[in-house]
Structure 1
Amino acid sequence: MEENKPEILGYNEILGYLAQEIGNRYWFPMYKYISENPELIKTFTGFILNHETIIVYLGKHHIAIEYTGEERVEKLREKGTTHFICNDYTLGEKDFCDEIIGFKYDGTAGTFKLPLPPFSEDLILPSNKGFDKLAELKWNFEAQDGLLGFNSNGFMIPKGQFSRIINGLFFDADENGLKTRHIKWIDFIPVSYDDSLEGYDSYSIDFGFYNEKMIQHDAHYIYPLPNQEDYKYSKLPQLNRFIELTGNSETSEPEITKFLEMDENKFILTMGFLGKEIYGQVKCEWQSEDRDPIIPDFFVERPNGYSDIVEFKLPDLKRNSIVGKSNRETFSAEISSYISQTRNYRTYFEDPNNRKWVEEKYHIKVIIQKGYS
């Protein structure tokens, strides 16, 4: 943008301008470089080119670009749509980095904020409330390979400095439990900002950091994923992710089941229930009756070949589990609905036609034990 001929841009135009400039200077040259070196396709950080979502944060001293998506890809995406989100923090007085993380730190060391270096990998930065909640939930600190901060007031990016955070974990806690913020990759691009002009704000953005040296570095960079052959650095961190999910009462049951049915997380159920395989969200249609299909959360296959049904319910109830006056207590409607659900599953698998259909379609065998109700 020329200083004497300012171009007035709205949010959509800003996103378009950023996408064009970063694309021409970084994404397109990297695409070309990796295409010419195809051995890098399965090791480079996939979401840099195969974007799922790109989140833009506008600040007074930096613009931040955050990437989400799959860390590993099988091939480069030739065409596709990227979802862009823009957040403007230029008008507020709150701390830019706190706004990005989503909570304010509560350290007791005055107002000091950790100045980040140009490159930060595996940064773990809980607030004091977050640290206490992690300890209460038995989050395994030793399982996480990274730089852990204590009694923190958060972090800041020095003016004029390009900075990057890769695989950063940030924690806080409130009345709903643990709050987790995972940043896979975020670039902080320095800007010069002037809001004294009448009718518009002026941005001068330094894109010079996206150069050939960075392109080659990032193409060869291997994102820090747990070593699947090392139990401590593959399984235990995944258990920490599970604790982070279940540690917040606002986490929904579908979010938990989606996490557990991912291939890298199936071990949580197979170990917990001594199973050898799990099947998630299997749609079981009735064969002898016209009824809505049942969809249990999981079938956990035992070593004998038969499967148990596992249904997840969050521990926080909307009301008391027992209602009614003295000597006339009964389960609440919420608990009764859970019991009704299990009875519905039992009714389904008592029908041999249903059992046969599920076994033939999904290779899942279920038997109803006599004497159980």
Structure 2
Amino acid sequence: MDEEKRIKKNHIETIQFLVNKIGKKYWLPLYLYLKEHPKLLKTFSGFLLYNEKVVFYLGKTHLAIEYFGNERVDKLKESFETSFLLHDYSLIENDFFDEIIGFSYDSSSDSFKPPLPLFLEDLIVPTNRGFDKLAELNWNFDAQNAIYFFNSNGISILKGQFGRIINGLFFDADEKGLKTRHIKWIDFIPLQYDDSGEGHDFFSINFGYYDKLVEQDAHFVYPLPSLDDFKFSKLPQVNRFIELTGNSRTSEPEITKFLEQKENKFILTMGFLAKEIHGQLKCEWQSEKRDPIIPDFFVVRPNGFADIVEFKLPDLDGRPVVGKNNRETLSAKFNSYISQTRNYKTYFEDPNNRKWMLEKYGVKVQKPKRILVIGRRWDFATDEWREIISDYRDIDIMTFDDLVDGVVAQFYM
């Protein structure tokens, strides 16, 4: 049965409506079923009930629901903390699916856009740019037990049909390197959209699809790397990192200290495709009197030269973009972060500093890429952000989700 809702400029009411309807139709019945069948908890997809965040994407033909969180839970909980976010893409002309994953497909085959079936598990869809970069990195395509879409224009979400993607990997690339988007679980629920009303838009959604999915999803075993694979043993560390960065009380030093630990350094080596990691190196100026710089990490690439990685908090203090009416710009705090990394650039422009660095630490640095890890993916989902940050060619902004996705993607190689 369709449920109708009026969309207002304030998204809070819409989120409350969606949470209420899905909770009654899906989350509560799922919880009760697991309570009756506790043995299923060992393999249950934990993030469906105990998630870090649920993100709703509202389009013209579908409501998409994406889950973030750990794949496994050890027990049912009576209560837990989560958060919800709504992105309204109902008024944009860009492709709905491209907006969700964060980049556009570049195929020369304009007509080929595979339709999303009812269920699609273990999916890999690179753009042509992403495919070329994966090949350059010697990514082993034969090692993947997955469904590939090559030379496609993305994925077509069929009007009037329910669709689901489980464990989808999407790749793109630009001059700064490989981009990875991992979707653990996303549902596409058909809706009817009416924007003819004055001042308000209406949509109706059929939540009845969930009636037949509760028992099926309780029994579903989420795909994880093989128990015999050493990579499986790394998942707990990745989950600890996710938990650490998901805690608003976590400080920047706690994040860098965690990553410096021997058992956790793989997050940096895999996330940045590095062969060596050097943390908290004190770099003294050789040609002038200035305070030393101490970048969080130097990541040494396969070519032997190091780039610089600086970590900030995953929880942004305010919006990264301020202003309106075609006057949007980066916030003062965000500009201060970029200025800090610009100081690193200045340091390594001096050949005396580079020579001292090599002699002191054995680290070669030449025009290092500066990578700022900050915030969560949903903090930077606006077109304004993408347009503004495109002007900053010499710095790469990466979210904590981007870092984790880049690591997890290699677990399935």
Distance in 2 (alpha carbons) for counterparts of 1:210 and 1:173: 36
The equivalent residue for 1:199 is: 199
The equivalent residue for 1:112 is: 112
Do the aligned partners of 2:56 and 2:85 also contact (CA within 8 Å) in 1?
Answer: yes
Counterpart of 2:44 in structure 1: which amino acid?
Answer: F
Calculate the aligned-residue CA RMSD, in Å.
4.0
Do the aligned partners of 1:49 and 1:76 also contact (CA within 8 Å) in 2?
Answer: no
Query: Per-residue displacement from partner, 1:15-48 (whole Å, max 9, x unpaired)?
Result: 1111010000100011001011110112110000
Do the aligned partners of 1:107 and 1:151 also contact (CA within 8 Å) in 2?
Answer: yes
The equivalent residue for 1:316 is: 307
The equivalent residue for 1:347 is: none
Do the aligned partners of 1:172 and 1:179 also contact (CA within 8 Å) in 2?
Answer: yes
Tell me the TM-score normalised to structure 2 length: 0.61
The equivalent residue for 1:331 is: 353
Q: How do residues 40-55 of structure 1 correspond to structure 2 at under 5 angstroms?
A: 40-55=40-55
Do the aligned partners of 2:55 and 2:86 also contact (CA within 8 Å) in 1?
Answer: yes
Give 1:255 deviation, angstroms.
11
Counterpart of 2:209 in structure 1: which amino acid?
Answer: F
The equivalent residue for 1:228 is: 227
Do the aligned partners of 1:260 and 1:266 also contact (CA within 8 Å) in 2?
Answer: no
Q: Where in structure 2 are there 5+ consecutive unaligned residues?
A: 236-254, 280-293, 301-305, 309-343, 364-413
Tell me the TM-score normalised to structure 1 length: 0.67
The equivalent residue for 1:39 is: 39
Distance in 1 (alpha carbons) for counterparts of 2:258 and 2:265: 14
The equivalent residue for 1:216 is: 215
Give 1:319 deviation, angstroms.
4.1
The equivalent residue for 2:134 is: 134
State the percentage of identical aligned residues. 50
Give 1:254 deviation, angstroms.
4.9
Does 1 or 2 have the higher relative contact order (CA < 8 Å, sep 6+)?
Answer: 2
Do the aligned partners of 1:118 and 1:163 also contact (CA within 8 Å) in 2?
Answer: yes
The equivalent residue for 1:184 is: 184
The equivalent residue for 2:26 is: 26
Q: Where in structure 1 are there 5+ consecutive unaligned residues?
A: 238-252, 274-280, 282-294, 298-310, 342-373
Distance in 2 (alpha carbons) for counterparts of 1:221 and 1:101: 24
Inter-CA distance 170–6: structure 2 relative to 1 (3 Å threshold):
closer
- Is the partner of 2:173 in helix, strand or coil? strand
Distance in 1 (alpha carbons) for counterparts of 2:60 and 2:257: 35
Distance in 2 (alpha carbons) for counterparts of 1:340 and 1:148: 42
Distance in 1 (alpha carbons) for counterparts of 2:348 and 2:153: 44
Tell me which protein shows more helix as a share of its residues. Answer: 2
Counterpart of 1:222 in structure 2: which amino acid?
Answer: V
Counterpart of 1:197 in structure 2: which amino acid?
Answer: G
Give 1:135 deviation, angstroms.
1.2
Counterpart of 2:18 in structure 1: which amino acid?
Answer: L
Inter-CA distance 333–75: structure 2 relative to 1 (3 Å threshold):
farther
Give 1:8 deviation, angstroms.
5.5
Do the aligned partners of 2:171 and 2:180 also contact (CA within 8 Å) in 1?
Answer: yes
- Is the partner of 2:153 in helix, strand or coil? coil
